[in-house]
Structure formats: C-alpha cells, structure tokens
Amino acid sequence: MKRLLVVFTMLAVLLMSVSALAAEYDLGGRTIKIAGHAADGMKSYFTDGEGRGLLEKVEEAFNCKIEFVQIDWDGAENRILTSIIAGDPVGDLIYISNRWLPLLAGNGALLPLDDVLTDEYYESLPGSHKYMRELYSSYQGKAYGISVNGSYQRNMDIGSAQGWIYNRDMFVEAGLPTPNELQNEGKWNWETMKELAIALTKDTDGDGVIDVYGVGARLDPWPIEQEMAVYANGGGIFKMVDGKAVYAMNEPEAIEAIELWKELDQVHGAVMVGDKYDIRAEFNKGKVAMFRLDLYALPDHANEVDFDFGWVFFPMGPKATDFVNPVWGFEMFVLPVSEKEPAALAALVDMLFETTGKYRDLDAYEDEFVEFFLPYVRDWDSLETIKEMLHKARLWDNVPGLGNELNEALVKATMGTGSAKSEMDAVAPVIQSLLDEAYNR
C-alpha cells in the first residue's frame, strides 16, 4: 500500500511539473523545426530508440509540433549560414558542432544566450558541461549554445575522447610497472612513458629488425600524436592573450611535445609509425606495447585480443599540472538570430534531451556513462580513468580555414632533420592570419 502511495505521489508531482511547464512556455501550436546533420538519427532515437515517448510529452507540455530536418554533414555550416542570412532559417533549433561557431556567430547569424541561460542552468549540467561557456559554446565573449551534454545520444558526451591503451601482459612479463600503477602513484608522465617504450622495444629474433615496438604513434602524414602531446603539456595551437587568439606552436609547451616524439623515433627507434603500419591491428597481434586511442574504439580491441590490457590518460607533459582528455568537438543547439522565444526553446531542449538536473540524476551521471564500458575493460583502475575523463575534457584547437600547413610542418619537425622551432616559426604568419580572421575581428 505504501509503495502504491509513493507511485501515485510521484505521478502527481510529474503531472504538476508538466502542467507548470506548459503554462510557463506555451508555443501556441507552433511547429518547431529541429535541423542538423543528426536530425534523422534524432528522429529514430525518439521513435524507436531510448528516447521513445519523450517527443509526445514535450509536444504536449509546450503546445507545439516538432519536426526534424536533416542536413548533410558536408557543407552544413554554410547551408545554415546562408539560410539565416536569407531570412529563412533551416531550423528553429539548429544542431551544430562547436567547430562551426566562429563562422556562424562571427557572421552574426546566431542569437546570444547570455540573458537566457543563467548560472543556475550551467551549474545543473553534468561533468565538463558545467563549463560549456568556457569550453565550447562561446565566441568572442558571448554564449550561444544550449546543452545536449555533448551529443544528443545519452551518455555519448565525450565520443571523440583520447586516452592511452597498453598491453598489460607485456609489462608484467618484462617486470615493468604498468601505466595504471604509475598513474595511481602520480608518476605517469612523458619521462616514464619514454623509459617504458625504450625498454619494451625489442628485436626478438636477432635479425637486426625491430619486432616489437614500445609505442605506436601517428606521426606522418597526419601528425595527431604531436598535437595531443602539446595539449598534454599545457599548450595548444593557439592561446588567448587579452581576448585575442595568438599562435602558440612555437612556444616551449609545443616544442617539447614535438621533440618528445622526435627523440623516441629518431634516437631510440621505439615508435611504430602510423600510417605506415595499422597500429591498432599490430597492437592486437602483440607487436606494439601501447598507443593513443579513441575511447570508443576500446570495445573493438576488447573483442579481439587474448591478452590483458589497461586504459590510462595520455601521459602528462612536464609543463602540465593535470591530465587532459582531448576531445575533438562537442555538439549543441543554437538559435537563429531572428528567434523570438529563446527561453521556451532552451527549456524545450532541456526536457527533450534530459540534459540538466531537472530531468536526470546528476549523482548517477558517472555510473551511467561508464556502464557501457563495463564489458570492455579488465580492471577497476581503467574504469575509474574513464570516469575521470568526463571531468577533464579539453577541446582540440579549431583554426577555421587551416589546410595542411601545420600538419606538413609537424611532420618535417618530427621526421626531418630541421629543428622543431624553425619549422613552427615558418608557419606562424599563415596560421596567425587565419586566427585573426576567425577570432580577432
């Protein structure tokens, strides 16, 4: 009887809250178009997926009809911009990558939300999203994004997160400390990673050819490891100085990162260089001891390997004070500059995607997220690292219009004979001009 009373009480509270919400935001039967590159996925999510039933509740609560408008990824930001400038926005709620913000906000197409989203709103978001204004939703001091906690799909917040996988059996057999052990002791850094990589690099059959590499790395032609190491050392492609974006790849944090990989490869021969090798496949065969990996690639390895493995942060650089989780981008909703009911639409997004503590249990946030990974990790320390990554997101720097100039310079600096400083200085004018155009107008 008591249980029934509790259930009826909860239902009554829910009905009262929906009624109050509907009274506060009545969209008068308006059709709300949700547009974006993931609109078809959203439609399926709310029709056949985990979000079943939510769409109808939100339409009733806000007295509106919701439609989904799919936009192809390629050129989506330009189509969005053109539609808004023409006075016919492709959507009322527009789903974008934060990497499109300089183009859209920089051209006056988006409505600033500083007077709409309060401090209480941000405080009610989970994980790194509490700091979304500083992290990914602002441009030139104004906030534009409505949170979906990084992605419209539940618990996909850091889908492009980067960490470090290693073959634990290989470390144990060699009598070496594992990266998880070192991380727990506060000693997982470039120096210990380098020592381990050198120690684990072996010519097992004496033919003069390396058979097992200590570390795998994509250094050429897409030099992603150098960029990740810059972030892990407290640096970036650029930094903000007095509100201006200033090129920073010729500063010590970046130069040290490039020289780390140059030494490991050219001096010690400890690096299996991708894309000359398929590092992921070679890791599965026991030919490489450790390497940087996308978090959501963990299940693939768990299903294919017959050895024990672990998961840690990218090792910390000497100038850093904490680990970072480099995330390529976050997604969010923005409003066209012509929108007249921004508060209602922000509340609609909150209810539909259950983003704040109003609609989700923030205390259960970490456990909900890592539940997906439970079958794919082999130890609690690795699972704890994944939890911590939720709170240490650091966006990859975004330089709109950047071609291959930086990549080519990084490859030369790492794989060639020239100095890292001279190569990074050489591309400074080109990249600074792009930064000026995107951020310093």
Preceding peptide of 275 cis, ω within 30°: yes
- pLDDT at 17 (0 to 100): 43
Q: What does each C-alpha distance from 112 to 49, 107, 129, 287, 336 come to in angstroms? A: 32, 12, 18, 51, 9
- pLDDT at 154 (0 to 100): 77
- pLDDT at 6 (0 to 100): 37
Residue 410 to residue 420: CA distance in whole angstroms? 8
- pLDDT at 158 (0 to 100): 79
- pLDDT at 268 (0 to 100): 98
- pLDDT over 70 at 84, yes or no: yes
Per DSSP, the residues of 74-106 read: TTHHHHHHHHHHTT--S-SEEEEEGGGHHHHHH
Mean pLDDT of 122-128: 96
Q: 18: which residues sit within 8 A by CB, 6+ positions away?
A: 57, 60, 61
Average model confidence (pLDDT) for the chain?
93
Mean pLDDT of 303-321: 97
Residue 231 to residue 422: CA distance in whole angstroms? 20
Q: What does each C-alpha distance from 100 to 42, 73, 122, 237, 242 come to in angstroms? A: 20, 11, 21, 17, 23
Q: Where are the alpha helices (DSSP H) in 25-63?
A: 39-47, 54-62
- pLDDT over 90 at 159, yes or no: no
Please indicate whether residue 22 or residue 435 has the higher confidence score (pLDDT).
435
Q: In this predicted model, what pLDDT tens digit does every residue of 236-260 receive, in sequence order?
A: 999 999 999 999 999 999 999 999 9
pLDDT tier at 274, thresholds 50, 70, 90: confident
Residue 375 to residue 15: CA distance in whole angstroms? 38
Q: In this predicted model, what pLDDT tens digit does every residue of 380-390 receive, in sequence order?
A: 999 999 999 99
- pLDDT at 270 (0 to 100): 98
Considering only 107-116, 360-369, 422-431, which range has the smallest mean pLDDT? 360-369
Phi, psi of 142 (to 5 degrees): -120, 140
* CB-CB contact of 71 with 38 (8 Å): no
Burial code (b: 16+ CB inside 10 Å, e: under 16) for 342-374 equals bebbbbbbbbbbbbbbeebeeeebbeebbeebe
- pLDDT over 90 at 205, yes or no: yes
- pLDDT over 50 at 21, yes or no: no
Mean pLDDT of 202-223: 95
Measured in whole angstroms, the distance separating CA 248 from the mean position of its chain's CA atoms is: 21
Per DSSP, what are the bridge partners of residue 110? Answer: 336
The secondary element (H helix, E strand) that includes residue 10 is helix 2-24
The conformational region for residue 110 under phi > 0 = left, psi -120 to 50 = alpha, else beta, is beta
Residue 375 to residue 200: CA distance in whole angstroms? 28
* CB-CB contact of 158 with 393 (8 Å): yes
Give the chain's domains with CATH numbers.
2-159+329-360 (3.40.190.10), 162-327+379-439 (3.40.190.10)
* CB-CB contact of 414 with 219 (8 Å): yes
- pLDDT over 50 at 8, yes or no: no
- pLDDT at 214 (0 to 100): 99
pLDDT tier at 13, thresholds 50, 70, 90: very low
Preceding peptide of 179 cis, ω within 30°: no
- pLDDT at 1 (0 to 100): 42
Burial code (b: 16+ CB inside 10 Å, e: under 16) for 200-233 equals bbeeeeeeeebebbbbbbbbbeebbbbbbbbbbb
Q: What percent of the chain has pLDDT over 70?
A: 95
pLDDT tier at 157, thresholds 50, 70, 90: confident
- pLDDT at 10 (0 to 100): 39
